[in-house]
Chains A and B, each alone.
Chain A
């Protein structure tokens, strides 16, 4: 047993005092049943339980969120598409494709976040509004982590472009600045707005220097005294060397230019160019990457990773991926300053900066309330071939383990189970058995749903499950007195035993009512008739009736006889068949040949010879016996007469 990574959460069952009462539970696939019990209690006096309910505990509550359902459904499509990306692609286009997939996942998260945000605003009760807002912050954290993982693990940006990606990352997630900017620019006199300098500072902190310069020019217009200083600072901002995507300069060139620019900023500061304006002075210090001044802007930076990226931008613009964790750790320490301890999100981001993928996934699994995030992220990283060596001491590898967990959660849901199927499909080791176990437990209310489940099983050659489902449906149909339906289902399942059972029911009905029901099915059995002997008999016997109805007596007679001689007809039915032969024997023309008549006689004798032995113990009523005896007598008479006629006819035919 490994050490626990955190204290398990405690769920209180309402109405049960666990100190005084006992609880019992039972596991389900995704749920647990919990109720109060008095098992093994010494004193039986307090028989009445204080909590009369059985509770269903669901471990994956997020599955039941209406809005998150969209996330699950939309990402399912992306997931399936990702599994189809072929290995044969060259590494470059493959990488581009994986980045695109990652962006698709993120845009789904963002769409969901947006909708959740709207729901939080529209919520009437504060409780549900609060719930929505907390979901928004969880989704936003998920997107933040995913985006960082995308930059570090999938994009694998080298020194230089790496910082550009990180800047975009910070700009995307610290986005209050856009509304602030609109607010300030929308006012009558922007430079007099109370947040004007905050805005300029944030723009500089985020490296949005063009926008910062525009703001400075507004200040210069409004305040001619500081116009000169603003121009100088603006020039510094303009000349800051940055790597642009289309630029061909090498890293050393850039570093050289940057060093030069950095020195110039320092010179201005030393010469006291901005001495008369503390605000511009601060901005210049930020450009120089002065850590103390940066830390003074804590409020505006709002979190340590923003601080990290700003610090890198103005002091180590060509930071290498391998150096990141060092700066990240020190930024975190500096930013928190020993006042507070890092939160789960901080730990996750730190693990990412350390390139410890497994730690990222582990921390996320603990911190997040659903499996969606870790399952999809792990799968994507696995497609980047980043997780090969890691196998768990239980089950399969980590990717598969997480996908199985997620898919099992979906299967526990009354409606999302269909999504789970594709996830199981892409778990090579345990996916199939999991699917087999889950699919059998889907409740089937309608045939349409059953057909969908059957299709899933048939596509995967899960014959056992197909048989099981068809049998359930056939059984249901029998209970509802829908014999035709029952027979169709057992034919589909190729279930001979059940087909025999249903055929017997049909024959029983026939004996009772003297006519067949469900002729539209029985007349069209075709080759399916061969499924079981009894079904063949049913079909053939019906065929005899049809031939008889069409007055095709000769064909009918030989069919009737063959049913007995080939032993297809059950013994118990022979008497009925022989009785059916009676009218044929009495026809004007001779239908049964002499040979056939002998065969019929043999059948009758076989039947009557066996009778007394088994007839008496059954305790049949004497009346029945009488009728039976008369029947046999009549048959014997008819057979004898027919034999006589047949011999004469055959003899005379041969003679002529």
Chain B
């Protein structure tokens, strides 16, 4: 990786997300959203890295990302997800969940819908309500799932005023993050080191499966699912450990990898190149994990085929062709750990790196040092 651009933005960044690229298009990511936290006034902002055009390496100025628009957000932005090309869902520390609409013709943001009390504490008496921070949100248009410190899981639909499904007391501790496993199943991680799988088809407030780290109950802060293999899941914990799970097998992680020195706030598989994984942490580091096999040409060829060719080979030769190379490096239990190559992406350590996102060859991350870092050449 050659160039990484930093921009100080006068607000601590809690979340950064690329706007999804329309499927099937050859475009690269150009616009990303950020959310701020711990300010008196917090904002959801949209930034553009477009107009690179000429490569003038002498001056870093061309690489700067420019603010397109922003909108006041109630409370800290705890999580941020794009619902589609123009709608962004934000989770707030005040327990409300908001959908913002991006008008691309005049570059403005507006409030499209808001669930004000999505998360709340009931308190000792039934009369005392107080808001509870919403800690995580995941979208699969039109479905939106949110989790919070109140241990509640909400299922919303973008076009419904009320929650479609609410699981009260889903967790006795704080839920930190949520992701879709296979629709309609979701996976949550909590502050006592457990992964829980929930099936919305089942009534009641019991998870369909609980997986947990042994003994120490180290809180888990983030979770991401392998984009192609829905049973492979990565989580990051308070001790900075990266755990890889196969949710089909047992209740223990397949591998535990020593990583950061403090809380791992986010872990993301590369969406189209899932042998690569990215993690960031409270200790101010941002890491790139490369588990692709020793022959780089081979794997990159395979990936250049894209989704279509995988799909084809899958239908022709179900087992051998498609599954073999995909039986990903993340699950092999032999001393494969040496094969994972780790690179640190930030030049010098700063305050906490709270969030990151990858799309194609672009990566964006935001820090408590009020800087947003962007690179467009992840694999060069």
Contacts and interface: CB of A to CB of B under 8 A. Distances in A.
Report whether chain A binds chain B: yes
Contact of B123 (A66, A447, A481, A528): A481
Interface stretch (A20-28, A242-250, A327-335, A448-456): A448-456
6 contacts: A414-B38, A414-B39, A446-B78, A480-B132, A520-B192, A527-B215
Contact of B282 (A455, A517, A526): A455
Interface in B126-143: 130, 132-133, 135
A419 B352 CA distance: 11
A479 interface: yes
Contacts of A527: 215
A21 B174 CA distance: 52
Given A69-B370, A414-B40, A455-B262, A524 B192 contact: yes
A174 B217 CA distance: 63
B360 to A, nearest CB: 29
B121 A481 contact: yes
Interface string B196-226: 1000000000000010100111000000000
Given A77-B348, A446-B76, A455 B263 contact: yes
B194 interface: yes
B215 A69 contact: no
A482 B121 contact: yes
Interface centre among B9, B192, B262, B348 (most CB of A within 10 A): B192
Contacts of B348: 77, 81
B8 A73 contact: yes
A449 B39 CA distance: 12
Contacts of B150: 480, 482
A419 B217 contact: no
Interface of B: 8-12, 37-40, 75-76, 78, 93, 121-124, 130, 132-133, 135, 149-151, 169, 171-174, 191-192, 194, 196, 210, 212, 215-217, 238, 262-263, 282, 348, 350-352, 368-371
A527 B196 CA distance: 22
Nearest to B282: A455
B173 A479 contact: no
A480 B173 contact: no
Contact of A70 (B10, B12, B37): B10
Contacts of B217: 488, 524, 526, 528
A19 interface: no
A74 interface: yes
A419 B78 contact: no
Contacts of A76: 351, 369
A69 B11 CA distance: 8
Interface in A148-194: none
Nearest to B283: A455
B41 to A, nearest CB: 10
Contacts of A524: 192, 194, 212, 217
B282 A452 contact: yes
Contacts of A520: 171-173, 192, 194, 196, 210
Contact of A485 (B38, B191, B215): B191
The 7 closest A-B pairs by CB, nearest first: A484-B172, A518-B172, A480-B121, A70-B8, A69-B10, A446-B133, A73-B370
Contacts of A73: 8, 369-371
Contacts of A448: 37, 76, 78, 133, 135
A546 B192 CA distance: 21
Interface in A473-488: 479-485, 488
B151 to A, nearest CB: 7
Nearest to A115: B8
A446 B93 contact: yes
Given A419-B351, A448-B135, A480-B121, 17 more contacts: A69-B8, A77-B350, A415-B38, A445-B75, A445-B93, A446-B76, A448-B76, A448-B133, A451-B263, A480-B130, A482-B121, A482-B150, A484-B192, A485-B173, A520-B171, A521-B172, A521-B192
A452 B174 CA distance: 16
Contact of A488 (B124, B191, B351): B191
A418 interface: yes
Contacts of B124: 479, 481
A482 B173 CA distance: 8
A66 B8 CA distance: 11
Interface residues of A, number: 39
A209 to B, nearest CB: 28
B372 to A, nearest CB: 12
A305 B79 CA distance: 54
B54 to A, nearest CB: 22
Contact of A67 (B10, B123, B132): B10
Contacts of A66: 10
A70 B370 contact: yes
A452 B221 CA distance: 13
Nearest to A520: B172
A570 to B, nearest CB: 22
Contact of A484 (B133, B173, B262, B370): B173
A452 B217 CA distance: 18
B35 to A, nearest CB: 12
Contacts of B174: 447, 485
Nearest to A77: B350
Given A520-B192, A526-B215, A527-B215, A446 B149 contact: yes
A77 B40 CA distance: 24
Nearest to A74: B8
Nearest to B194: A520
Contacts of B37: 448-449
A440 B133 CA distance: 21
Interface string A498-511: 00000000000000
Contacts of A484: 151, 171-173, 192
Contacts of B122: 480-481
A66 B70 CA distance: 15
A451 B238 contact: yes
Given A76-B369, A418-B351, A447 B133 contact: yes
A470 to B, nearest CB: 12
Given A485-B172, A524-B192, A452 B352 contact: yes
